[in-house]
Amino acid sequence: MVMGEPRREEYKMQSFDAATQQLLKTALKDPGAVDLEKVANVIVDHSLQDCVFSKEAGRMCYAIIQAESKQAGQSVFRRGLLNRLQQEYQAREQLRARSLQGWVCYVTFICNIFDYLRVNNMPMMALVNPVYDCLFRLAQPDSLSKEEEVDCLVLQLHRVGEQLEKMNGQRMDELFVLIRDGFLLPTGLSSLAQLLLLEIIEFRAAGWKTTPAAHKYYYSEVSD
């Protein structure tokens, strides 16, 4: 944290109204004083509407979970958060049909939660298959024809792909079969979508790392 800069948790709250900001600040400092199930719902609701927030919400959720555990040794917030994630997961096709942006925000959010939440320093097993299922949906032909979904797929694989593969390598192999098929059978794929898919195929092949040559090639292409 640099002197004079707002704390990241506080900065992310600026997109909430004043009453909600106060609720979240209290949840972080004195979690026993607020309805933590309500807090979980507020965070999920906002994540589905604001893709910028959904990219960082995991950090806030992790901080609230830590604060509650330290204060009371309980996990009311985590339970409420996971229940709500499951509800949205079960209705994911309806969400996608209703709002492509909401669907992309949801995938970003669940991957962010997977990235931050740990049990005994390991990713949460309960989230592995739901996260995979969301990424598999993004790799279907009708999703690959939409740049927002391709962009989301590639960004999330950059963020959590390596962790996911360690948890279930077979499903990652199956996912990349879909991605390669999508790349090789470009029915309606934009040139940017093809570039992004090729980049993530090479990124995984290089051990989830970007080689200097790949970085120069892809990022100069994208900026062009």
Contacts by 163-167 with C-beta closer than 8 Å and gap 24+? 163/114, 163/115, 163/123, 164/114, 164/128, 164/131, 164/132, 164/135, 165/204, 165/208, 167/123, 167/125, 167/128
Give how many domains the chain has, as a whole number. Answer: 2
pTM value? 0.88
User: Tokens 């390598």, residue?
Assistant: 169
The pLDDT tens digits of the residues spanning 98-137 come to 999 999 999 999 999 999 998 778 888 999 999 999 999 9
Helix (H) or strand (E) holding 122: strand 122-123
Final residue of a domain: which of 80, 108, 136?
108
For helices 36-49 and 100-116, angle between their N-to-C axes, nearest 10 degrees: 130
Residue 73 has pLDDT above 60, yes or no: yes
134 and 206 share one domain: yes
The pLDDT tens digits of the residues spanning 121-180 come to 888 899 999 999 999 999 999 999 999 999 999 999 999 999 999 999 999 999 999 999
Average pLDDT over residues 16-45: 94
CATH number at residue 170: 1.25.40.180
> Which pLDDT belongs to residue 180?
95
97 and 153 share one domain: no
200 and 171 share one domain: yes
What letter does residue 2 receive in the DSSP assignment? -
97 and 129 share one domain: no
83 and 132 share one domain: no
Contact 154, 196 (CB under 8 A): yes
70 and 130 share one domain: no
* Range(s) of the domain holding residue 94: 23-108
The confidence band for 9, taking pLDDT boundaries of 50, 70 and 90, is low
Q: Report d(CA 218, CA 144) in Å as an integer.
A: 19
